[in-house]
Amino acid sequence: MALRIATWNINSITARLPKLLGWLEASRPDVLCLQELKCAEDAFPYEPLRELGYEAAVHGTGRWNGVAVLSKVGLAEVAHGLPGEPEYEGVLEPRAVAATCGPVRVWSVYVPNGREVEHAHYAFKLRWLGALKAAVTEDAAGERPFAVLGDYNIVPTDDDVWDPALFVGQTHVTPAERAALEALREEGLSDVMPRPLKYDRPYTYWDYRQLAFPKNNGLRIDLVYGNEPFTKAVGDSYVDREARKGKGASDHAPVVVDLTL
């Protein structure tokens, strides 16, 4: 069975809906994890997605966060939020949603940004990542293909940032954040992007400012971490840079993974 699974920080599903629908028709993923919906659940565009054959599990409040799983192969065992996840300023933010889609189980996650290392949001980020590790333990150890996909807001290595020297002392590259990725690996999850890379510097995010995308001044922060049954089934994985081009694009590009199960 061939299965295409993707993840994309859409940066407002309302603003990017035409881009999203066009990409779905062209790329035809069976499952798509979305982040940064900036859309409440009751305002989510269920109908145009349904017309393309997608069911949707949505967790959003209409503010700055929000996540979803779109599926053409079924949608079951939906879970909103992480068990024991921390609050930020008294609010539980919609940053994680899980679903079983046919033969695979996925989490769509939007990890907190962290803002600055001394900021309270950075400490919140590390607590949230701890809750994520605890949440995936059971699924990661199972025999079912399982993956955590999304915007991690962490650069795994210095090779995944266009100029490491510019990020010294900033969030996304700190030892504590990278240790959180290592903690997921200890649970049996691993990055599905192949090493050595098939092409140079497959970034997934480029700032809108200072011609970052044309210059390829980017970061690889949109990741797919899968358990062994998932990673063994991976036939291809790539960043769809074409989706980042043109007026009105998200500042992130989709990451696509093709499985043979």
- Residues taking part in catalysis: 110, 151, 252
251 is in an annotated binding site: yes
Nearest in space to 172 (alpha carbons), one of 134, 99, 221, 215 = 221
Report CA-CA distances (Å) from 26 to 1, 22, 103, 256. Answer: 20, 6, 23, 13
240: number of Cβ within 10 Å = 16
Ligand-binding site membership of 80 (annotated): no
Could you tell me where the beta strands, DSSP code E, fall in 19-101? 31-35, 55-59, 67-71, 76-80, 96-101
- Strand ranges of the sheet holding 96-101, from the earlier edge strand across to the other edge: 76-80, 96-101, 104-110, 146-151, 222-226, 190-191
158 annotated ligand-binding residue: no
Determine whether the annotation assigns residue 30 to a binding site.
Answer: no
Query: Does the annotation list 252 as a binding residue?
Result: yes
- CA triplet 205, 211, 216: central angle to 5 degrees? 50
Ligand-binding annotation for 207, yes or no, is no
Numbered residues of the known binding site: 9, 36, 151, 153, 251-252
Indicate the annotated binding residues for Mg(2+): 9, 36, 151, 153, 251-252
